[in-house]
Amino acid sequence: MKVILAKNAGFCMGVRRAVEATLDLVRKDDRIATYGPLIHNPQVLDLLAERGVEVLKEIPDQRQGTVIIRAHGVPPERKAKLAASGARIYDATCPRVLKVQAIISRHRKEGCGTIIIGDRNHAEVEGLLGYAGAAGQVVSNEAEARSITVSEPYIIVSQTTQDDPSFELLSGIILARFPDGRVFNTICDSTHKRQAAVLELCDQVQAMVVVGGKVSANTKRLAEIVEKKGKPVFLVETEAELDIASLARFDCVGVTAGASTPSWMINRVVQALEAIPGQDEGPLTPFLLRLLALLMASNLYVALGGGVLASSVDLLMGRACAPEHFVMVSCYLFAMHNLNRYSGSGLGRFSDPLRERFWRRYGGPLLGISWLALGLSLWLAYRYPGYSASILAVMSLCGVLYSVRFIPRKVAEVIGVKRLKEIPGSKTFFVAMAWAFVIIVVPLYGRGEGWNQANLAAFVFVLLLVYVRSALYDVFEVQGDRIVGKETLPVCIGRDKTLRLLYGLMVILVLLLAGGPLSGVLPVAWAALLPAVGYLFAVAWLYAREKLSYSTRLEFAVDSVFPIIAGLTTLVSLLS
């Protein structure tokens, strides 16, 4: 089935800000609570509860630790009462909601009443009423708009997640009866864009799936917009709620999501939909999708990618392409990626749920195959003269120890980490270093060669290329990694700063591939790899601008940089 994801779907700025702030506070304080549900998504709230975040329904007389004010905001008197309880207050109110609160407060001082167009029992509306005081009223439908009474100057504002047609209709009815009111369209930009994207997508698909909490006002509003367009709509919280039988009638389905829906939940739904055969699809397409999922979940594709990268480096350096080198590298990478995945099993259910399910089903056999692959790679390294096998053995030990608690307790108390994986941002660096060692260093010593400028440049190329590849995966999984407490580079410095860093590293790769041959440090053939770096840059750039969404296909696209390098290298060797 063809699945099209709406251009604007999932966490809005205010929700992302609230969730990320909460997770940052969890790392610093073990007494975290939110006043009311932080956002309207039960799955996210369950995950926060697993991290120890308590939800306060009432304001206690005394409270220790930090209390977070929910993204929807609260009335000012409740905020004051929370502060009086002795708790540290962190205000995670969405900036768009704060703007509405400020508008109401300013006009209240001028003697104006406030009419709020929105859902009467919604948390945001309750908070806004607190700022409006006794002169605040709520209008939720046409009947209320026609029966409302106004006895003073007034303003009209909107709940930030209201839809434009309803706001214009209801405010128009009120103004027709009481023409002296001032209207402030306070629907946030994210809501505007989300609703516009849904309307546009409805013209391209046969049905629409809306993902989000059943109590989320903006999620339900998206479903209502689809219904008004006359399209079949399926409102689900998780992929388990998909009506597979009904959806199988369609060839092309659109997916959108409420502002409180995290990316990993959207990914689950998209991947489940893609696995449904469309009416015009034969059995080949679902088979290919399952094969793709198998290649990615088992780390077989990336391991083979490492092997072809090693062979490409040999060819570019003017050496014979040894099959033993390809097999050794592929087996080693297959083993280490899987062994580390197994040791971290259970944490991927948010950032990478499909892989996690795969590991729950096939983890045992795959683990056995991985140990056999590691043994084969060590045996092949042993066949090299010199210290190749010793180097690979030490690397393997370090790789296994990466996820194992081996640092003595007293030392761990001093440095603050119990295992290597707890060092912030370390995973990406260690993965890249392992690739560079097995591709460059192990055979280098096996051939009895010394270090020279060309070998050093090749080492730097592999290190930077794999670092960019691995860090892109971290960018894709940043929301799930935050939930489980992984301190990857994007979690530590943010998604945008990480992407800027990766763009900079890709510029260095371009300079290396262009300057190396010009200066005579590298053979001229290395310049042929410039399109591969351009390809990787394009994937990152398109993702950053939300032209690509995270999926198994995107992972496949990133790791396809290695076959592209192999293709470019083969072409150069044939032409030379």
Each residue's pLDDT tens digit in the chain (576 positions)?
788 888 778 778 888 888 888 888 887 777 889 988 888 888 888 888 888 888 888 888 888 888 999 888 999 999 899 889 888 899 999 999 999 999 999 999 999 999 999 988 888 999 999 999 988 999 999 999 999 998 889 999 999 988 888 899 999 999 999 998 999 999 988 888 888 889 989 999 999 999 988 888 888 889 999 998 899 999 998 888 998 888 888 888 999 988 888 877 888 888 788 777 766 666 666 677 778 878 888 899 999 999 999 999 999 988 877 888 899 999 999 998 888 766 554 445 555 556 667 777 877 888 899 999 988 988 888 877 666 777 777 777 776 666 666 566 666 555 555 556 656 667 888 889 889 988 998 888 777 677 889 999 999 999 999 999 999 988 887 766 666 666 778 877 888 899 999 999 999 999 999 999 999 999 999 999 999 999 999 999 998 887 877 777 888 999 999 999 999 999 988 887
**Strand pairing category for 207-211 and 233-236:** parallel
* pLDDT of amino acid 347: 46
> Do both 283 and 343 map to the same domain?
no
Over the Cα atoms of the chain, what is R_g?
A: 28
Q: How many domains does the chain have?
A: 4
Catalytic residue at 124? yes
Rounded Cα–Cα distance for residues 139 and 143 (Å) = 9
pTM confidence score: 0.72
What order do you get walking across the sheet with 233-236 strand by strand? 2-5, 252-257, 207-211, 233-236
Q: Is residue 3 part of a domain?
A: no
As given in the structure block, the two tokens for residue 453 are 């400028």
In CATH, what number is assigned to the domain containing residue 334?
A: 1.10.600
Spacing of C-alpha 416 from chain mean position: 27
Spacing of C-alpha 121 from chain mean position: 32
> Do both 30 and 164 map to the same domain?
no
Residue 233, SS3? strand
Nearest to 465 by CA among 529, 528, 407, 419: 529
As given in the structure block, the two tokens for residue 406 are 């081996």
> Do both 29 and 119 map to the same domain?
no
Distances from the Cα of 276 to the Cαs of 9, 245, 270, in angstroms? 22, 9, 10
DSSP code of 441? I
> Do both 430 and 528 map to the same domain?
yes
Residue 542, SS3? helix
State the residue range of the domain holding 21. 13-93
Q: Is residue 437 part of a domain?
A: yes
Place of tokens 């369609």: 250
User: Catalytic one among 20, 124, 239, 555?
Assistant: 124
Looking from the CA of 529 toward its CB, the CA atoms found within 13 Å total 31
> Do both 169 and 318 map to the same domain?
no
Q: Is residue 6 part of a domain?
A: no
* pLDDT of amino acid 508: 97
Residue 317, SS3? coil
Rounded Cα–Cα distance for residues 148 and 515 (Å) = 74
Distances from the Cα of 248 to the Cαs of 4, 226, 271, 283, 343, in angstroms? 15, 19, 14, 14, 38
Q: Is residue 8 part of a domain?
A: no
